[in-house]
């Protein structure tokens, strides 16, 4: 929900800056993902951590055990504990998303999607990624989406960025290949 965004962004930026300072950015991103994944896979665990019906002490213990089990860095353990104390664990997903955006920007990565009627070969996919990376002077990471209703075989969307004629030839030959394959 966008209502929580400012709060989520403040927390995300704080974690990002500390992780950069300590030079553990990628590690924190991986650990944060592991923590997020566990909570999305275990709704009961998530419910308990967010529930006021459990004492703060009980919830702190659960969090501590989880952090040990995941072998989280002290920084992240302390961060999640702060979220727990401030009743901010419910905006964990927004915080994670904002944190990942900071990491991407820092690592010069732009994410986008390529939507096609049928899967691209690994070769085509890499060609497309490197064409866009060259174009934008950033590392472009595309995610593949299959949509049987895509006309013209191919749509590329990259956050806030449009592509122009210099990519048209690469895209054009790719589209032709896809159309030939579809026949």
Burial class (CB in 10 A: 0-12, 13-18, 19+), 150: middle
Give dist(CA 7, CA 16) in Å, integer: 14
Q: What is the pLDDT of residues 49-78, one digit of tens each?
A: 999 889 999 999 999 999 999 999 999 999
Q: Which is more confident, 157 or 182?
A: 157
State both tokens at 42: 């275990």
Q: Are 142 and 113 in contact (CB under 8 A)?
A: yes
Q: Are 125 and 143 in contact (CB under 8 A)?
A: no
Q: At 157, is the secondary structure helix, strand, or coil?
A: strand
Question: Model pTM?
Answer: 0.78
Q: At 33, is the secondary structure helix, strand, or coil?
A: helix
DSSP letter at 89 equals G
Burial class (CB in 10 A: 0-12, 13-18, 19+), 114: buried
Q: Are 31 and 73 in contact (CB under 8 A)?
A: yes
Pick from 70, 67, 104, 103: nearest CA to 82:
67
Q: Are 104 and 147 in contact (CB under 8 A)?
A: no
Query: What average pLDDT does this structure show over 84-102?
Result: 94
Q: Which is more confident, 157 or 120?
A: 120
Q: What is the pLDDT of residues 3-40, one digit of tens each?
A: 656 899 999 999 999 999 999 999 999 999 999 999 99
Q: Are 151 and 132 in contact (CB under 8 A)?
A: no
pLDDT recorded at residue 161:
65
């Amino acid at each position: 929900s966008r209502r929580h965004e400012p709060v989520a962004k403040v927390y995300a930026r704080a974690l990002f800056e500390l992780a950069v300072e300590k030079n553990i950015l990628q590690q924190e991103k991986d650990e944060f993902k592991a923590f997020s994944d566990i909570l999305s896979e275990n709704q009961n665990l998530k419910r308990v951590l967010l529930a006021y019906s459990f004492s703060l002490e009980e919830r702190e213990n659960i969090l501590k055990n989880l952090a040990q089990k995941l072998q989280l860095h002290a920084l992240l353990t302390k961060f999640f504990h702060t979220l727990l104390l401030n009743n901010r664990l419910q905006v964990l997903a927004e915080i994670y998303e904002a944190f990942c955006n900071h990491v991407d920007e820092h690592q010069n990565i732009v994410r986008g999607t390529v939507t096609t009627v049928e899967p691209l070969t690994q070769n085509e996919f890499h060609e497309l990624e490197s064409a866009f990376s060259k174009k934008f002077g950033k590392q472009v990471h595309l995610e593949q989406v299959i949509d049987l209703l895509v006309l013209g075989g191919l749509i590329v969307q990259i956050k806030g960025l449009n592509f122009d004629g210099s990519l048209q030839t690469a895209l054009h030959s790719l589209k032709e290949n896809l159309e030939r394959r579809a026949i």
